Amino acid sequence: MEHILENIKRIRESQKITQAVIGEKLGISRVQYTNIESGITSLTMDRMQDIAEILGVEVSQLMDKPSAKVISFANRKGGVGKSTMTILFSVALSNWTDYKVLVIDTDSQSTVASLADEESDLGMDIIPFNFDESHTPIRDFLKIIEKKSKEYDLILIDTQGSFADGQAINTILSVSDICIIPIQATKPAIQSTLTTLVSLPEISEGRREEGKSFLALGIVNQRTRTNEHKIVKDLDGQFGMKVLDNALSNLVRYHREMSLSKPICEKEDDDEFVELFRELVKEIGL
Ligand SMILES: Nc1ncnc2c1ncn2[C@@H]1O[C@H](COP(=O)(O)OP(=O)(O)OP(=O)(O)O)[C@@H](O)[C@H]1O
Ligand SMILES: [Mg+2]
């Protein structure tokens, strides 16, 4: 039921129709309509049909479960923390929120998937997908996304740096609502990161044409002090990427204590990861 009301609100807002206008067309007051949309007054089948007609959509569209938000972790530079961040955020999201989380591991090293084999009781699902092992990888991948989007709230995708061509990574980005780019703020690492960043505006434009949003967020990983501040500042806003204020330090726990069943710390802790998690959730609008 809740998602029906969310669908109504989302479609109404995307068409820039106010609650008052819908109320008027239904022959009720704005307040009465607001009460329906916020779940205070229950929505009858007749009302739902009327609302669908006003919005110019099928009733089935109002009943559709909203698609999952797809969050990919990408950087063509290797070893910057894509898999590490995929693990940290998927575990935190599945443990600290009510969202149903799926991780797709497209990294041929299967960093995430192999960790999953060692543990039980995961609060999320993990599937491997290897772009090199299928004859029609792009079609197969898109099919999986379409199917899984209906079953999960959030889909996190770990990518590999060394995809032979840009096709795989561009396909992943094109289905992503949010792309997270781990950044190592050293001059040589930034050079290779730029090859990822240059493709972002085209991805964003392509998605906009389909009426879909795209948000690129940079997160500094293995923060050091030397000279970094200026490098990061220069990157913020480049190619549409926003660099988050919070970062991850270079800590042994991100290397040796990674787990898919237990977050790296408690949600209430005074901890850099909690700060980063909060900022990310706010940016993404979860
Ligand atoms: N903040 C951190 N502190 C300490 N070690 C880290 C941190 N982030 C990543 N590492 C370590 O650095 C290495 C590379 O990280 P990771 O595997 O996440 O990078 P990647 O971008 O997924 O690499 P690839 O491109 O090979 O897939 C790993 O051994 C990981 O444990
Ligand atoms: Mg990796």
Per-residue pLDDT of 50-81, as tens digits, reads 999 999 999 988 988 778 999 999 998 889 99
Give the pLDDT of residue 186.
Answer: 85
State CA 184 to chain mean position distance: 21
Same domain, 17 and 116: no
Task: Return the percentage of the chain with pLDDT > 70, whole number.
Answer: 98
Is 177 within 8 Å of 215 (Cβ atoms)?
A: yes
Same domain, 228 and 138: yes
Q: Which protein residues have a CB closer than 5 Å to ligand 2 (ion)?
A: 82-83, 107, 111
Q: Are residues 50 and 85 in the same domain?
A: no
Looking at the chain, the whole-number percentage of residues with pLDDT higher than 90 is 68
Mean pLDDT, residues 201-216: 90
Of all protein residues, whose CA lies closest to atom 27 belonging to ligand 1?
Answer: 160
Q: Which residue range(s) make up the domain with 181? A: 69-284
Is 276 found in the same domain as 175? Answer: yes
Closest atom, ligand 1, to C-alpha of 161 = 25
Amino acid code (one letter) for 21? V
Domain match, 58 and 84 both: no
DSSP 186-219: SHHHHHHHHHHHTTHHHHHHHHHHTT---EEEEE
Question: Which element (helix H / strand E) includes 7?
Answer: helix 2-14
Residue 140 binned pLDDT confidence (cut-offs 50, 70, 90): very high
Residue 84, classified by CB atoms within 10 Å of its CB into exposed (0-12), middle (13-18) or buried (19+), is buried
Q: Is the pLDDT of residue 126 over 80?
A: yes
The side-by-side arrangement of strands in the sheet containing 125-128 is: 125-128, 101-105, 154-158, 69-73, 178-183, 215-220, 241-243
pLDDT at 164: 63
Ligand 1 atom 9: the closest Cα is on which residue? 81
Distance CA 152, CA 81 (A): 24
3-state DSSP assignment of residue 42: coil
Q: How far apart are CA 237 and CA 235, in angstroms?
A: 6
Report the number of distinct structural domains present in the chain. 2
Protein residue closest via CA to atom 10 of ligand 1: 255
- Domain boundary residue among 63, 92, 110? 63
Domain match, 45 and 169 both? no
